[in-house]
Structure 1
Amino acid sequence: MLIPSATNFRRLPHVRPGTLFRSDHLGALDADDARQIQGLGIRRVLDFRGAEERTAAACVLPGVQVHSLAIEPTIVQVLKDLLDAGHELTEAEVVAHMQDTYRGFVRRSSHRFREFFGHLLASSEPTVFHCTAGKDRTGFAAALVLLALDVPMDEVMADYLLTNERLKPAFLENTRLPPQVARVLTRVQPEFIEASFEAVQQDFGGMDRYLREALGLEAAQRARLRELYLDG
């Protein structure tokens, strides 16, 4: 499915058709695209954007309940502050800052992903989850869902990297960042999400324990997730 005004909108793989979708933000949908998404029966939107992001581009999809799971973005402001101070950022430095962002998902925002799974466990009504570009906060959330469903890591990574084929970098149009910075911020790289997995390993000893202790997914909850969402 192609949604021209939300190019990163797509079904989550290995998930029962019609239940769970991931996307970039839904604040710029045109009428045709909104009708196309409505046709999927979407009833619930789980929004990882921060306060200013939500205000700047409020969800225009009618007839849905939007739940805010706010994770405030920091990366663009951090990089702009460095540039304003006269620092000439290299691509490698930007990648390192992105890795810090992903470690922060584990170390500072796990409570939001715990809330996210609480919504998913409450019902399997057709749901879309998103942030602004649908690549970082959303990409980590999608990976957690697939890992909780025991999807192999290579397929988790394939879904994560699919963003590079789908996303148009319009979300950075007004930031006036140097090309070497924008090149990193408009794509995903394995090194980004691998940094989050390394933080999980360092802090929890592995993904199963992270899912259990940080996100509240005991064996019964993971079995419920498989019942609600796993395709086949």
Structure 2
Amino acid sequence: MTSPTIASSILQGASNFRDIGGYRNTDGRQVRRGQVFRSDHLAGLTTDDVARLQSLGIAHSLDFRGVAEYTATPYAIAGVQRVELAIEPTVIARMQALVAQGIVPTTDETVDLMRETYRDFVNRYADTFGQFLKHLLEQPTPQVFHCTAGKDRTGFAAALLLSALGVERATIFHDYLLTNQRYRRDPRIEGKGAAHVMKVLWQVQPEFLQAAFDEVDAQHGGMSDYLHGAMGLKPQELAELQRLLLVP
């Protein structure tokens, strides 16, 4: 496994920022570096951070945050076009509904809630994630994609992209779990709740992503069928994406 070289410390005002390039796929081809980056939200960038993004040539930010999220923490970065790919944070709404009923979920119940959230990504937002891959194809300049923490919606998007590029599952899980090392928790964004619940909600676990992969297999006939079916990626588009983002 070859890991990306750009560390999370590259930006002072954002965490969990990293280049997804550098990994090798099952054919031994390397994902091109310097083209696609993942991050948490970009609302706290410093002047130096903005200059760094500009030096990387990043021209588009693909924002998976819901309406309330990007309204609360908006951003505008010179030279970077924000593209809205809103996926509402349903896990938060479900948690709020439980709290309103006076119910505090157990750790296991919170994990189950996260698994269901990832199944929702697969079944409810296939078209949005398809738009994400098509935007990478249509705009071949460097891009960054993110949500609030850069862990769930962003994590699943990264898993889909790496799957489309033929990267093996073990490597995809490695990239996914790096969030637990690189995301800096921010109580101002996370809100309040029982400590055991918040720990589950603001970290990632292999079970979350595995639930999504299992749903892809069970409901959509596997990753290839999911990419071409529910996500709407034509075979020639997938081939072009691989041409753009894999080193020959």
Which shows bigger deviation, 28-37 or 90-99?
28-37
Which residues of 2 match residues 6-21 of structure 1 at below 5 A?
A: 6-13=14-21, 14=23, 15-21=31-37
Instruction: Classify the secondary structure of the residue corresponding to 1:129.
Output: strand
What root-mean-square deviation, in Å, do the aligned CA atoms of Structure 1 and Structure 2 show?
A: 1.4
Deviations along 1:8-67, one digit per CA (max 9) or x if unpaired, are 110013331221100101111111222112211110111111111111111232211111
Runs ≥4 residues deviating over 6 A: none
Could you say what secondary structure the match of 1:196 adopts?
Answer: helix
Counterpart of 1:213 in structure 2 is 229
Q: Is contact 2:39-2:147 (8 Å) kept?
A: yes
- Does the 8 Å CA contact 2:134/2:233 hold for their aligned counterparts? no
Tell me the distance in 1 between the aligned counterparts of 2:93 and 2:148.
Answer: 15
Conserved in 2, the CA contact under 8 Å of 1:28 and 1:60? no
Deviation at 1:71, TM superposition (A): 0.4
1:62 and 2:62 aligned: no
Which amino acid in structure 1 is aligned with residue 228 of structure 2? R
**Higher mean C-alpha displacement, 167-176 vs 32-41:** 167-176
Number of the residue aligned with 2:91: 75
- Structure 2 alignment gaps of length 5 or more: 1-6, 24-30
Q: In the alignment, is the contact (CA less than 8 A) between 2:180 and 2:203 conserved in 1? A: yes
- The 5-angstrom pairing of residues 1-232 of structure 1 reads 1=7, 2=9, 3-13=11-21, 14=23, 15-170=31-186, 175-232=191-248
Q: Secondary structure at the match of 1:169?
A: coil
- Is the 2:16–2:150 Cα contact (8 Å) retained in structure 1? yes
Q: Is the 8 A contact 2:127 2:232 kept in 1?
A: no
Amino acid at match of 2:133: F
* CA spacing shift, 1:26–1:171, aligned 2, 3 Å: farther
Aligned residues: 232
**Pair 1:64–1:160, CA change in 2 (3 A):** same
- The one-letter code sitting in structure 2 at the alignment partner of 1:9 is F
> Normalising to structure 1: TM-score of the pair?
0.95
> How far off is 1:100 after superposition?
0.6
Q: Distance in 2 between matches of 1:228 and 1:174?
A: 36
- Give unmatched runs, 5+ long, in structure 1: none
